[in-house]
Amino acid sequence: MKKKIIVLLAALCMSTSVVGGALTVQAGQEEASDSTLVVSYSADTGDLNPHSYGSPMWIQSLVYEGLTRFVDGEVVPGIAESWEISEDGKTYTFHLDQDNVFSDGTPVNAEIVKKNFDAVLANKERHNWMETYQVLESVDVVDDYTVQLNLNAPFSGLLQELSLSRPVRIGGEAIFPEDGDTSEVINEPIGSGPWKQVEHVDSQYTVFERNDNYHGTKPQYKYLKVMVIPDINTAANSLKAGEIDMIYDIESQMTGDVFNELQASGFTAELSDPVTTNMILVNTNSGPTKDLAVRQALEYCIDKESISENVYGGLQPVADCLMNPKTPYCDVPDITIYNYDEEKAKELLDEAGWVLEDGKDVRTKDGEELTLRFLYEGDNDSVSIMGQVIQAECKDVGINVELVAQDATNYSTSQKEGLFELLQAETWGDPFDPHSYMSSFRVTTHGDYAAQLGLENKAEIDEKITAALNSTDEKEVEENYQYVLKTLTDQAVYVPVTYTTKAYIYNPDVVSNVSYNTYLDVMYEEFTVNK
């Protein structure tokens, strides 16, 4: 007997709720306008391939939808209006909204959904961080508007992962090259989301137009123009000059000074709740950081309060755990907290035989200097400053930290191959679930895997993650994740520094009804633009 789960969309009437600290006001009954919202972002919007990683997730969400969405902590319909899950958790049957069409007017039916999934399955190794594509065996068309996903093992987070922006969003037939291979390129970005791309000038701007075929609440303004402005000070000046209406800072480049200045100037400046964790990944399998005492000393000698206040201007609160405790399954009782204690760090190093000789600045052990390479992507000024602070704090206890700024390609290679002692990184999956990020710990091409490889119980950690992913018992999921987080904390594999936030600064005379979704992204389709 199958367990039937039917979820219906909420009525599209005007309603209010609080999400991520901001008031959501549905604007579905207001008259549409031909106005344009101009927003700045630090990077190009990319290729808009729904099956790849060349665009920011929030940009993909403008154009494409998934089978499900995740709203206020609950899975709700996307292009599927209902679904059924077999008792063994291995078969998911989705019933599509038969009235839904893509922005070019073509139907969103079972055949095109299968074609999208098959395209991703053909390149599943690219998506080995994502549990869905490790357990998904095949996709069947049941009838014109019913599609079935067949798994080789239950996965507790499948419905949540299907709500992600990539690589599970559904594109129309127009996206597919003649050979059907979307791994490198698509023909054009056609989705069923609230917006459609109508103009793109590489590294300058992208224009999106309201998708009047959208089956949900349609945007109340016609155009969304995303300007590429990498420098936050330039973006602030553009906002003050009226050249843009909003700054969307998802990359944590906002400084406290700029935030406070714009707020004092009459702009609405808001912060989301904590989203991810800005942390340092410590390699247990390379160099001096193979020594637990060195890793624990790092935990104690980094002053997170100072970094939060002086580097991020108080915009990012101090982090105590790798995963924000508000993340489901990740509130770990009695987890070890490493408070700033320089003397404790020195004591640990002394006891482990790392000696600071008279007249020397760097500790040694058996002729080896305590020198650690700290790798980071070089285009983020805040991370660069954070690295300098950490370098100075480590020097005070006899640890020499070499700062190595790398471009995106070399940084990616270094983390995959474990070519680091310290690596600035960030979690993902917060604040709605830990599944995607925890799953990646078992993937050999990820920095987390490389960093954990020196742990004696690495295999057990991976087994606990697999057990959590394959369980349908929430208590069991929680117990397994808590074991993993507590173990990694005790082994000092991660130095959580701050919890990241997203900053939104806008002109309240131009933009109103600003709201956030569960991912703490702004909901552009719900804005009202008053110009």
pLDDT digits (tens, 9 = 90+) for 193-222: 999 999 999 999 999 999 999 999 899 999
DSSP labels, 135-147: HEEEEEEEETTEE
Dihedrals phi, psi of 149, to nearest 5 degrees: -100, 125
Three-state SS for 246-271 is EEEECCCCCCHHHHHHHHHCCCEEEE
Complete DSSP assignment for 48-106 = --TTSSSS-HHHHHHH-B-SEEEETTEEEESSEEEEEE-TTS-EEEEEE-TT-B-TTS-
Q: By mean pLDDT, which of 251-255, 458-462, 463-467, 524-528 is the weakest?
A: 251-255
* Partners of 425 in the β-ladder: 279
Please give the domain boundaries of the chain with CATH numbers for all domains: 3-215+504-529 (3.40.190.10), 277-499 (3.10.105.10)
Q: Could you tell me which residues are beta bridge partners of residue 190?
A: none
| 488 within 8 A of 482, measured Cβ to Cβ | no
Among candidates 205, 387, 414, which has minimal Cα distance to 278? Answer: 387
In single-letter form, the type of residue at position 445 comes to: T
Question: How many CB atoms are located within 10 Å of the residue 421 CB?
Answer: 25
Counting residues of the chain whose pLDDT is more than 90, the rounded percentage is 73
Inter-residue contact 166 to 153 (CB < 8 Å) = no
pLDDT in tens, 343-374: 999 999 999 999 999 999 999 999 999 999 99
In the predicted model, is pLDDT for residue 26 greater than 60? no
The answer to whether 423 and 280 have CB atoms below 8 angstroms apart is yes
DSSP code of residue 18 = E
* Helices 474-490 & 458-470 angle (0-180, nearest 10): 160
pLDDT digits over 262-310, tens only? Answer: 999 999 999 988 889 999 999 999 999 999 999 999 999 999 999 999 9
Q: Compute φ and ψ for 85, nearest 5 degrees.
A: -120, 130
Residues 406, 412: contact at Cβ < 8 Å? no
Return the structure tokens found at 66.
């998934």
Sheet holding 223-228, edge to edge: 195-201, 205-210, 223-228, 36-41, 246-249, 503-506, 268-271
Q: How far apart are the C-alpha atoms of 270 and 322, rounded to whole Å?
A: 24
Mean pLDDT rounded to a whole number for the chain: 90
| Closest listed residue to residue 527, CA positions, set 241, 268, 255, 320 | 268
